[in-house]
Structure 1
Amino acid sequence: MAFAALSSGVSGLTAFTEGIGIISDNIVNVNTVGYKETRSRFSTLVTETQSVSRFSPGGVQLRAQTLVSQQGLLTSTASQTDLGIDGSGFFVVRSAPSAISAEGNIQFTRAGNFTPDEAGFLKNTAGNFLLGFPIDVQGNIPTNIGDLNTLEPINVSGLTGTAEATSVVTLRANLQSSLTATTVGGTGPGGVVAAGDLTADTIEPDFAQTITVFDSQGAAQGLTLAAVKTGTNEFRFEIFAQDPAAINAGNGGLVLSGLITFGADSGIESFARDFPAPAATFPTTPGAGQRISPTADLAFASGASTSTVTFNFGRSGDKDGITQFDSLSTLISSNVNGAVFGNVIGTNISNDGVVTALFDNGLSRDVFQLPIATFPNPDGLTRLQGNAFGVSDDSGNFSIKLPGTGGAGTVAPSSLEASTVDLAKEFADLIVTQRSFSASTRIISAADEILEELVRI
């Protein structure tokens, strides 16, 4: 029994030594961003020789439990790239900005103190690089967000001095319904207004307005929107180059032409495109509520690449685009994408995880979407260097989600998550554990005295 008591005392020394190590780790990380407190969980060791008439001491063992799911306090900072997570989930990071070779080099963290390095990549103080989904010029992210190969290290410095060609033009305009229809004088059969008559100034338009688009080199180009009434609830609508030698010179600058038909309630119903020749996939008369969005190619004389532009006229049967009310013909608004970007002067990150690059010419562009990774059991994650975590059998597999969806938390920009360590509690636990260690040494001393008496006998 004395030997068993010695063994029990030794197990206490081992367990309480590890406990002091856990407490000390918590204390020294009290100011570590996103650190999760680890607690000591003690359990008994029972030997198989125990019976009703005889007791055999077993001892104690310690198991560490990191409370990863515990939310730390979010504190405000002055940096736009300091990030916290309000709710469940983790930022997806890796230790190098190189391409992903396997899921094994993906890590997860809530330490969001990210700053740009010398190459412009966002990384935290542990050297882990923040990953996100790239946003294309249409504002879309990859459709398969569960594929880790679509994640890229976030870097906005490479956008400096770049240009983006116009690909979408959204129009809101009104064409006056009480205008007198122009039915003759054109170049069409019988003198009717035909495609290109407004472009060539054969027919004077009832409405004309110029908008600005951009080519792939960032140069601004002028497009004229023109319309003339040709019948009841019908207008010929053309888009052509302000400078016929600059865009589609071979067609005299004509970009798009066709007949717009309006309903009795003044909402657009259809667009019968006759230039360029309608493709089989373009609906002349779309169903109610369907977008009327013809496309046309812009060939630039400057040497910039040809751009395919989608012109949004509104939904069939609705009044969210081009309308026909009895008020002056006017361009209400035009939304044109594309621009020439200057030097990056800053980065903005929204609550839904959209990373926006800010340029010195006043423009901005959405460039990345941050994902949030969630786990069935985050407390089962494996601790890694740099206050990061890895997948384990206990944690379950991760799910990639957009912030604020599917149980994932939202991104808290200009905020950092504080350590979950309660310093007062740790000092109290340190005293108790140290006393428990001392008590275990007394067990060994007492067992030693018993063995010494046995030797004397």
Structure 2
Amino acid sequence: MTISSSLNAGVAGLAANANRLATISDNIANSSTYGYKRVEADFQSLVLSDSGRSYTAGGVQTVTQRLIDQSGSLVSTANPTDLAVRGRGMLPVTPASEVRAGTSDPEMLLATTGSFRVDEQGYLSTSTGMILMGWPAALDGSIPPFSRDTSDGLEPVQFSLNLIGDPTTSIDTRLNLPATDTAAGSSGDPYNLSVEYFDNLGTSQSLSMTFTPTVAATGSSNEWTLVMTDSASGGAVVGEYVLTFDDSRTSGGTIASVTTVSGGTYDPASGDMVVAADGGPITVNIGAVGDTQGLSQLSDSFAPISINKDGSTVGNMTSVEVDETGNVFARFDSGVTKRIYQIPLVDLPNPNGLEALDQQTYRPSKESGAFFLWDSGEGPTGDIKSFSREESTTDVAAELTSMIQTQRAYSSNAKLIQTVDEMLQETTNIKR
């Protein structure tokens, strides 16, 4: 019956506008919530079959959708591990409850922003209990290859709160040997250079280099003997080499050849030689053949120019930083900065199909499509911005305008029901 369908349509209108008001209420309530994505209610008409002689009202229904692909404005903060995604992509996080329960494969959830801080167990987590996830770096700071279509390689980001040492693995030397000391009549006195390095326990050791000139009977020999000893090995010789320098017009003073007497073999292309120190091998670079940046033999003075080496003494972690490419660095009071993790950005074909959860987190679903892990700033993704939070996507002015429209629509549907009620009352009065 047409009049009954009008009543039903009015009731459906009340329910639809009540749903819309609920989404508006949620949006306004979360207008200051970082990372909140507004919800939108879409109205869809219901059309029943029309006989042509009378019309039956079908009414209306609502479909709600969270607009996850919308991005809010970024605001600056004072915390270096306040993170926000600038552009497409989401941060991988996991519930702290699963990690602390010892779950071997914690669930990967997604978020677009978060205020992360190092907690008492060293995890980079939020106050709401979400821990950031990333790919762990190798001991040398490199990131091993991981599968990009699965979260199996991701781990909760955790830092060691204890002391940490960084052993020395390479030493680059630049110094000048006096050319006059290999000439006939020279004293042949050696020159000594001690280079500090750090062993596997962070203890200071020294690698001593002794340069002894070969004095020529006539003219100049342009030859030196380099002997390296290791204090950690009780002063034992770890390498001995005979260095010959070029005296030509074009390459005068550069290394012409190196003969290995003992220790690691000299590489003429790179200038490297590996010496077996007590705590492990150390690569010593003295310059390639013909290279002007390594050892030289010029003039009449012994002049150490620069000694560059890695490694450091034991230090405490002082701060954590995340760069735009997602690399997580730990800084120590010893002056060392180490890359510990790399945070990927997760991209999906349909972000709006994600399942929304509490705390502005989302779970991949069938509707969102299969995810892929990208390096920040590569592919379709944006980059990671530190010292930043993403604001709510709610526009309060627009929501208040929609609230007024919803209120008027609700009142109109209520008036429709009142009118139908009066018409039914008139119908009832006919019998009287």
Gaps of 5+ in 1: 184-202, 300-305
CA distance in 2, matches of 1:86, 1:222: 47
Q: CA deviation at 1:222?
A: 0.8
Tell whether 2:187 aligns with 1:214.
no
> In terms of mean alpha carbon deviation, does 267-276 or 368-377 score higher?
267-276
Q: For residue 274 of structure 2, what is the aligned residue in structure 1?
A: 295
Q: For residue 239 of structure 1, what is the aligned residue in structure 2?
A: 228
Q: For residue 86 of structure 1, what is the aligned residue in structure 2?
A: 86
Amino acid at match of 1:2: I
CA distance in 2, matches of 1:89, 1:9: 43
CA distance in 1, matches of 2:346, 2:243: 48
Amino acid at match of 2:125: K
Q: For residue 155 of structure 1, what is the aligned residue in structure 2?
A: 158
Q: CA deviation at 1:95?
A: 0.1
Secondary structure of 2:315's counterpart equals coil
How do 1:10-29 and structure 2 match up within 5 A?
10-29=11-30
Q: CA deviation at 1:109?
A: 0.5
Amino acid at match of 2:204: A
8 Å CA contact 1:137–1:164 kept in 2: the answer is no
What whole-Å deviation, never above 9, does each CA across 1:107-136 have from its counterpart, x for those lacking one?
011231112323232212321111122333
8 Å CA contact 1:126–1:387 kept in 2: the answer is no
Q: CA deviation at 1:28?
A: 1.0
Q: For residue 197 of structure 1, what is the aligned residue in structure 2?
A: none
RMSD of aligned residue pairs (Cα, Å)? 3.2
Secondary structure of 2:129's counterpart equals coil
Q: For residue 294 of structure 2, what is the aligned residue in structure 1?
A: 322
Q: CA deviation at 1:312?
A: 4.1
Gaps of 5+ in 2: 215-219
Tell whether 2:40 aligns with 1:31.
no
8 Å CA contact 2:179–2:222 kept in 1: the answer is no
Amino acid at match of 1:45: L
8 Å CA contact 1:352–1:410 kept in 2: the answer is yes
CA distance in 1, matches of 2:61, 2:237: 83
CA distance in 1, matches of 2:244, 2:74: 56
Change in Cα spacing, 1:454 to 1:151, as seen in structure 2 (3 Å) is same
What whole-Å deviation, never above 9, does each CA across 1:201-225 have from its counterpart, x for those lacking one?
xx854x5422211112111001123
Tell whether 2:239 aligns with 1:256.
yes
Provide the identity percentage: 30
How do 1:354-365 and structure 2 match up within 5 A?
354-365=327-338
8 Å CA contact 1:11–1:61 kept in 2: the answer is yes
Q: CA deviation at 1:33?
A: 1.1
8 Å CA contact 2:348–2:370 kept in 1: the answer is yes
Change in Cα spacing, 1:449 to 1:412, as seen in structure 2 (3 Å) is same
Q: For residue 75 of structure 1, what is the aligned residue in structure 2?
A: 75
Q: For residue 263 of structure 2, what is the aligned residue in structure 1?
A: 276
TM (norm. structure 1) is 0.79
TM (norm. structure 2) is 0.83
Secondary structure of 2:406's counterpart equals helix
8 Å CA contact 2:226–2:243 kept in 1: the answer is yes
How do 1:53-132 and structure 2 match up within 5 A?
54-96=54-96, 97-98=99-100, 101-102=104-105, 105-132=107-134
Give the number of equivalent residue pairs: 412
Secondary structure of 1:94's counterpart equals strand
Q: For residue 199 of structure 1, what is the aligned residue in structure 2?
A: none
Change in Cα spacing, 1:450 to 1:232, as seen in structure 2 (3 Å) is farther
Amino acid at match of 2:305: I
Q: CA deviation at 1:325?
A: 6.3
Secondary structure of 2:14's counterpart equals helix
> Of the candidates 423, 430, 437, which is equivalent to residue 410 of structure 2?
437
Q: CA deviation at 1:148?
A: 2.8
8 Å CA contact 1:179–1:229 kept in 2: the answer is no
Q: CA deviation at 1:101?
A: 4.4
8 Å CA contact 1:161–1:340 kept in 2: the answer is no
